[in-house]
Structure 1
Amino acid sequence: MRILLIKCHGRSLLSRIRPIVTEPLELEMIAAVLNRFSGAGLSYRLYDSWLEGGSSKDIIEKEKPDVLMLTGYVTAVEEILGLAAHAKKVSEKTAVWVGGVHAEGCPEDFYSEGVDAVFFAHALWGLDVLLKSYFEQGVGVANLYEKMPGVAYKDDGAGWVEKGPSAEGWAFEGPVPDRSYFEAYKHKVRYVERRGVALLKTARSCPHLCEFCYCRLLNGGVYQERPLEEVIQEIRGISADTIWIVDDCFLTTAARADAWASALEGLAAEGVHKRFIAYARADVIVRLQDYVKRLRVIGFDEWIVGLEAVEDAQLKALGKGVEADDNAGAVDVIRAAGARLTALFLVSPDDDAGDFRRLWAWIKGHEVRRFTVSILTPLKGTKVYEQYAGRMAAEGLARPARFDFLHLVMRPTRMPAWLFYLRFWWLSAKARLR
């Protein structure tokens, strides 16, 4: 069996500028599962056009795989469907499987002629089960899907069948990612000005309940932390000097922060020193400020914090669960610890000129040097999406490619669209100038 794994990217302004280019961690996690079957006759190839250049279609034509695995975010839906259709034109025998974070929450977006199966729950476990059935039990590819929970597939009547997740999937711990691909293209990976930054996942989903956030819906909405010993062992094997922890919220409790600090202090005593970038909530930063200082000493030199808004009414409307004072406090705590803050803000299509001015005044007043601004983009499955779904459908702006947080998916209510974009890009330009 020959498998081709492709990381798909939607086309947007960021895809042209590319301030951040990461390793395809999800493909490297899949690769680690596939390695278990290399002795049984399985071979595979990873491909990410942002790292290798070239064309995904050309790679499909060259490889002519037995199985094509595609993954990407919501902005890549059209790209994924196009590549699936292209693969079927190259060879009708190619099985096309789709996975990733968008497929996990919205599998129906990939129900098309070119796609054979969509992995929407416990994908690594499901893939492991599927390949065991194929190699150890001799089950043909066409019959594999019926035996696997957490997958949607086409039945004989051309409809789609969704098999819910299995209890076994919750307990499955996938192997440590195979970072061979990262090592080959490490020189092309970057996080803004930092080069060769590796990604690390230490938990699934998020324990918080922000109503606009899609990440908390992943893993069936169940927050699960990986065993700390396993993660520390993975860190030992990462060649990069800087590691970006891509959990939606790394800091959660004092117990977790203490365990991590102790483990990393132990690594430092062994001579293993890393720099870390991680996400956190403002209220947790304030509550665990002593740990923010302690973690700074052992390498946590940048915190990415979703402040979102600077007024209590706006934060309440987002269902964020924090207050404006928490945001101000987090800025002070991170600065006092000697770490760098990257603040994330949202502007809403319902904002007026005063909202933009007050946001900029707050940023200046609190001397936030590094920040990004995104447009509120309700993602399917969230409570905020339910609130705006009718409006988005009626206005016809909500194509997948526009869900990059840089485009309006709803018409502004308090100013023309051109003026909203002007204010948005003016504020974004301020971020680059600072």
Structure 2
Amino acid sequence: MKILLIKPETVGIFSFTYLVDHEPLEMEYLYTVFTKDGHEAIIYDRRYEPISLKKKLNKEKPDVVCITGYITQEKLIKKLCVAIKKYRPEAKIILGGSHVEINYENFYDSKADYLYLLSGLDNMCRLVKDIEKEDFSDIEEIPGICFKKDGEWVSNPKIFETPEDLPVPDRTHFYKNKFRFRYLCFKPLALVKNSYSCQRNCNFCFCTNRNGGRYACRSVDKLVDEIASLDVPAVHITDDNFLVNREYLKEFIRLVKEKDIHKKYLIYGRADFIANNEDIIKELAEIGLALIMVGLEATNDEELDSYNKHVSLHENEECIRILSENHIFCAGLFIVHQAMTKEDFKKLYKWIASRDIIPTVSVFTPMQGSAMYKEYEDKLITKDVTKQDLFHCLLKPEHMSVRRFTFEYYKLSMGLAFKNRKSPLYADNEYFKGMLHIIAVILLKIKRVFVL
């Protein structure tokens, strides 16, 4: 069979920057297993490919179309499904990804034929095999899929999975386009998937609910072998928290040294682990750890407790110190919330600006699928999923208007960006190229208003 793998265009403000862009790793995994099973798979990355969906469907004539996406792309994904059924009605549509996995009922009103609610690939291959043979006698036995029966959606139970069974992805698409994939000055940048879910339970994050809420990671030797095979200078290990286990990290360090691997590493990690394991952080820095994205979130213990972080302000301060002393970029993640006053915004700016942090500030967002969503659902100003991008005010501020809150938020973010404009993280950025990218994105968006 011929299978079209669609990576939808980015929705929102991030579509206008070329400074952060990642390879479509989920589609590369599907490409790998489908081609191994004898299918012809084609990756259609709509972030860059200007060809319209209609022309792509007419050219490739796929039997199956797979689409992935994030919560902000939900409306777009549904539009793509409608267009696929219009131009290629015989094609079966399978939707997957983190948003579908957690909030699959949102897609019951879509034109999709199947929803895939797992991270592993074995059961996806089972589903595609049934479609190929047109034999669905075992469809109710395939874990983690939704399908229609007598016009009604049926959801098969999910199962616990481990990434240990993931294949090494075929990165043909990546190497053809690797000049596009980067995180600020780290380019080309490859992604490596090493775990499912997260072992913590921060109440604002829905990642903890993935894989049935159970954390699982690959053996360290498989992780290092994949990294060693990559022909790139920088690698982003995509775990929601890579800093989990001291012994695992010690073995990671040993194997990287043993195999004489020289790369820069970007990871997510928790402040408490960094604060309490300074020796490990120093060793990681020695083998190439260059940047850690740390959820610092707040500047006082009361707010940290409200997010169920189980981290103290003292640990945040120690984390910042340790990363600075080891010359690791601290990409600190912060949250502004609706109880803040104008003075609170000023205090937050001063606190961040006085420390060695490259910050990203997000607006408090009760994300659908997170533990706190039900608590705030009735208080949301809008339930428009395109606004759940962490840059929009979704709850009524207590001390100012929504417009004023938005102004204070962007003033804070722009002020911090200007303050850090000379950071080495931004030193390699080409402003002319950036302007060309913005123009190209605008033209592509205008085109797709008329031709999807």
What TM-score range do you get, normalising by the shorter chain? over 0.9
Is the CA contact 2:164–2:217 (under 8 Å) kept in the aligned structure 1? no
- Cα deviations across residues 143-177 of structure 1 (Å, max 9, x unaligned)? 66434110011112x2110000246x558712111
Q: What is the Cα deviation at residue 30 of structure 1?
A: 1.2
Which one of the candidate residues 91, 98, 101 is aligned to 1:104? 101
Residue 337 of structure 1 corresponds to 326
Is the CA contact 2:57–2:88 (under 8 Å) kept in the aligned structure 1? no
Residue 400 of structure 2 corresponds to 415
3-state DSSP of counterpart to 1:362:
helix
> What is the 5 A alignment of 1:121-270?
121-133=118-130, 138-140=133-135, 145-156=139-150, 158-166=151-159, 169-170=161-162, 173-268=165-260
CA-atom RMSD in angstroms: 1.8
The question of 1:386 aligning with 2:380 is answered no
The worse-fitting range, judged by mean Cα deviation, of 118-127 and 248-257 is 118-127
In structure 2, how many angstroms separate the alpha carbons of the residues matched to 1:218 and 1:70?
A: 19
Is the CA contact 2:294–2:333 (under 8 Å) kept in the aligned structure 1? yes
In structure 2, how many angstroms separate the alpha carbons of the residues matched to 1:170 and 1:242?
A: 25
In structure 2, how many angstroms separate the alpha carbons of the residues matched to 1:132 and 1:91?
A: 20
Larger relative contact order, structure 1 or 2 (CA cutoff 8 Å, min sep 6): 2
Change (3 A) 1:7 1:100: same
The question of 1:93 aligning with 2:58 is answered no
Is the CA contact 2:70–2:99 (under 8 Å) kept in the aligned structure 1? yes
- Cα deviations across residues 119-156 of structure 1 (Å, max 9, x unaligned)? 01245121122244456xx343x666434110011112
3-state DSSP of counterpart to 1:355:
helix
3-state DSSP of counterpart to 2:37:
helix
Is the CA contact 1:249–1:279 (under 8 Å) kept in the aligned structure 2? yes
Q: How many pairs does the alignment contain?
A: 419
**Aligned residue type for 2:191:** L
Change (3 A) 1:61 1:314: farther
3-state DSSP of counterpart to 1:83:
helix
- Cα deviations across residues 86-138 of structure 1 (Å, max 9, x unaligned)? 10001221101000011111111111241111001245121122244456xx3
Change (3 A) 1:131 1:96: closer
Residue 19 of structure 1 corresponds to 19
Give ranges in structure 1 of 5+ residues lacking alignment. none
Residue 71 of structure 1 corresponds to 68
In structure 1, how many angstroms separate the alpha carbons of the residues matched to 2:226 and 2:392?
A: 37
Change (3 A) 1:361 1:45: same
**Percent identity, aligned pairs only?**
30
TM-score between the two structures when normalised by the length of structure 1: 0.92
3-state DSSP of counterpart to 2:332:
strand
Which one of the candidate residues 326, 336, 353 is aligned to 2:342? 353
**Aligned residue type for 2:157:** G
Is the CA contact 1:350–1:412 (under 8 Å) kept in the aligned structure 2? yes
In structure 2, how many angstroms separate the alpha carbons of the residues matched to 1:219 and 1:166?
A: 7
Change (3 A) 1:341 1:124: same
Is the CA contact 1:21–1:50 (under 8 Å) kept in the aligned structure 2? no
> What is the 5 A alignment of 1:45-84?
45-84=42-81
Residue 312 of structure 1 corresponds to 301
**Aligned residue type for 1:317:** S
Is the CA contact 1:97–1:116 (under 8 Å) kept in the aligned structure 2? yes
In structure 2, how many angstroms separate the alpha carbons of the residues matched to 1:122 and 1:12?
A: 25
Give ranges in structure 2 of 5+ residues lacking alignment. 421-452
Is the CA contact 1:187–1:195 (under 8 Å) kept in the aligned structure 2? yes
